[in-house]
Amino acid sequence: MDKTVLLIMICAAATYATRIGGYLILSRFESVNHRLEAALEVVPIAILTALVAPSIVTHGPVESLSIFIGAIVAFRYSLMTSVACGLMALIIMRSFLV
Amino acid sequence: MNTRQLAAVTGSFSEIQDGVRGAMPILVAILPMATVFGAVAIEQGLSIAQVLLTSVSIYAVASQYVMVDLLGQGIPVWIIVMSVFAVNFRHVLYSAAIGKKMQSFTTVQKFMAFFLLADPQYAASEARAANKLLSPAYYFSYAAVVYITWLFFNAVGALFGSLIEDPEIYGIDFILPIYFTALVFGFRARTGFFPVLMVSAFVSMIVYFTVGSPWHITLGGAAGMLYAAASSSPAKVQGDG
């Protein structure tokens, strides 16, 4: 097998291991402690926040502002509307301010 | 699970409809990302077949960028694999969290479902499970739309990559942070939403500027989870949604 193809396959296996790993580990236990339960309950909030947080400060003020606009809109409206508003704000601000 | 939820699962057609509809917002972000990835991978020396193999088998955009980038620099294979593993480590937490919400999946369905557990798939499934029983019909129809779009526009990028204009003009270089932020606020009713948000954001930024990427994702996330674990009490009923 070609070296690059082999590398791709190993990376695919490593990725699948992470995607099923948490489930396989947890399913070995009969019951889950309430603290672990609480920690798992906030995974979407904690990880997605950690994913985005640096981009608030590593880009320009226009980019940071568009994230905040998207977040404020998300309090009231759907995901699609919030993303559209954040994106529109970014495009408008970029074309006038930058 | 109650009878109403069971009835909802048997109504597969509406589940499929919801899954397809639910995937629509993320397509706006996936389309340019997939196209750019195809173009970049070709530029780094991969063949079209290798680009498609990468996307079919790995299906995790951030780590694919890392792999292709390091490959182009002639970095040793084991370092590339470790980097891909590090970038993808957050998925361990995804599978731990969503696994217990897959009660209506068969074992085979679970093994297939975890292969497709990308960021938007995870977030959409969590949001779905907060209101209804997460059904295989919803999960796999959402996944099919995202997966097929992803592969199709990879091919487009690989074939016509040289024609791509500057992505900054349309703001598409910054769709993902906006998208993830909007997703996060969809979970604001959960117990401890604001403190977890603050802790994760704070630790993520510190780690980003000290240890460096990609560890800010796992460590920032872990900090928020630790906060939630520490402030949990046995009697408290956890809010869902």
Determine the pLDDT at residue B7. Answer: 56
Q: pLDDT, tens digit, for every residue of B122-163?
A: 999 999 999 899 999 999 999 999 999 999 999 999 998 767
Mean pLDDT of B188-200: 94
CB atoms within 10 A of CB B195: 15
Question: Residue B22 pLDDT > 80, yes or no?
Answer: yes
Among the partner-chain residues A35, A36, A44, the one whose CB lies closest to the CB of B187 is A44
Mean pLDDT score of chain B: 88
Residue B208 CB neighbour total at 10 angstroms: 22
Distance of CA A88 to CAs A62, A63, B85, B86, B170, Å? 12, 11, 35, 33, 9
Q: Say yes or no for a CB contact (<8 Å) between B219 and A50.
A: yes
Query: What mean pLDDT is predicted for residues B189-203?
Result: 95
Query: Are the beta carbons of B50 and A49 separated by less than 8 Å?
Result: no
CB B229 within 8 A of CB B195: no
Q: Cβ of B87 under 8 Å from any chain A Cβ?
A: no
More confident residue, B135 or B165: B135
Q: CA-CA distance, B8 to B134, in Å (whole number)?
A: 10
Nearest CA in chain A to B66: A11
CA-based torsion, B109, B26, B62, B130: positive or negative: negative
Query: Is B232 in Cβ contact with A35 (below 8 Å)?
Result: yes
> Is some CB atom of chain B closer than 8 A to the CB atom of A19?
yes
B92/A21 CB distance under 8 A:
yes
For the segment A17-39, what is each residue's pLDDT rounded down to a tens digit? 999 999 999 988 878 889 998 99
Give the pLDDT score at B240: 47
Quick: pLDDT tens for B58-98: 999 888 988 988 888 788 888 889 889 988 999 999 999 99
